[in-house]
């Protein structure tokens, strides 16, 4: 959109999972930036084309970007280089030990605000979109998830602090339970949060809506990674693990058809209100020779 309007379109992509996830996100962003929507390489593209032609800011969850668990510095650098301007983490963001050596210098990375206090990383970031500021938070759910601090206690004061700087607040709510996500979305809307986007379960839901004429919400935006998989992992390994209840190591799918799932949210940056949310699904096939 034009820098002279307060309406801005933000594309948020779900959990980038492994190599195929990184590739499909790279190609999706390239297609958007070059307006190459008729490429023969695209198998499927479901999106509001009037909106996707005017993306002002790119965000993605990256906690599974490196081998399905965690984030290496190389992959962080690569994701920033392809045009992702903000990256959110979840409960797996610290899984790769090397992150501890660079996380405090990773200016585009936002770690969960209610993770244990001894873990490094910035818990809140402000990003510029033309002359406006966007606050980005990652929040971990507590139901069926590892123990974390209570977001119910942490966030009310944090919202007050943020609103002294900007009315525009986007939250990646990284959680397992649908009920907790819905409840959190309604609760956050009462504080005037602009956007609550669910991640973690890797399956896109069809319940996008604007809550209280203010807050864009969806239970899960989906994921970016191998389509013919079990949330990114090999089917046969997953079936054996689940049916036999054995501690079989997960194996991420590394070739074939990839899907990128996300949502586009239109903000009125003057008021902090979301005025529109729509889903995106992009599918592309990768030949073996393309998989490095």
Q: Is 174 a catalytic residue?
A: no
**Tens digit of each residue's pLDDT (9 = 90 or more) over 130-175:** 999 999 999 999 999 999 999 999 999 999 999 999 999 999 999 9
- Domain ranges in the chain are 7-226+258-286
Average pLDDT, the chain: 95
Q: Which of 92, 174, 200, 202 is catalytic?
A: 92
Looking at residue 291, what is its pLDDT? 53
Class of domain 7-226+258-286: alpha beta
Percentage of residues of the chain with pLDDT beyond 70: 97
Q: What is the pLDDT averaged over residues 184-193?
A: 98
**Tens digit of each residue's pLDDT (9 = 90 or more) over 205-240:** 999 999 999 999 999 999 999 999 999 999 998 998
**Tens digit of each residue's pLDDT (9 = 90 or more) over 13-49:** 999 999 999 999 999 999 999 999 988 889 999 999 9
- Please check whether residue 225 is in contact with residue 232, taking contact to mean a CB–CB distance below 8 angstroms: yes
Looking at residue 184, what is its pLDDT? 98
**Tens digit of each residue's pLDDT (9 = 90 or more) over 231-268:** 999 999 899 889 998 777 778 999 999 999 999 999 99
Residue 289 pLDDT exceeds 70:
no
């Amino acid at each position: 959109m034009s820098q002279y309007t307060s309406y801005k379109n933000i594309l948020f992509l779900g959990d980038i999972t492994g190599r195929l996830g990184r590739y499909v996100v790279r190609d999706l962003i390239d297609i958007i930036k070059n307006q190459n929507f008729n490429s023969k390489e695209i198998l499927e593209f479901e999106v509001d084309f009037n909106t996707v032609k005017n993306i002002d800011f790119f965000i993605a969850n990256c906690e599974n970007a490196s081998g399905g668990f965690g984030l290496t510095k190389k992959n962080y650098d690569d994701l920033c280089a392809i045009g992702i301007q903000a990256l959110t983490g979840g409960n797996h963001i610290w899984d790769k030990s090397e992150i501890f050596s660079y996380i405090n210098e990773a200016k585009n990375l936002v770690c969960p605000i209610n993770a244990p206090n001894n873990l490094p990383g910035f818990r809140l970031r402000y990003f510029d979109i033309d002359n406006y500021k966007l606050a980005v938070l990652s929040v971990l759910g507590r139901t069926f998830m590892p123990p974390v601090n209570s977001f119910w206690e942490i966030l009310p004061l944090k919202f007050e602090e943020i609103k002294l700087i900007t009315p525009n607040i986007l939250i990646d709510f990284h959680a397992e339970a649908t009920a907790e996500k819905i409840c959190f979305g309604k609760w956050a809307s009462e504080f005037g949060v602009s956007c609550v986007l669910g991640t973690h379960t890797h399956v896109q839901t069809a319940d996008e809506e604007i809550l209280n004429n203010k807050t864009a919400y969806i239970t899960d935006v989906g994921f970016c990674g191998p389509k013919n998989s079990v949330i990114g992992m090999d089917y046969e390994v997953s079936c054996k693990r689940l049916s036999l209840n054995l501690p079989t190591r997960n194996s991420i799918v590394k070739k074939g058809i990839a899907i990128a799932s996300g949502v586009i949210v239109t903000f009125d940056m003057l008021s902090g209100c979301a005025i529109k949310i729509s889903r995106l699904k992009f599918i592309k096939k990768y030949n073996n020779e393309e998989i490095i």
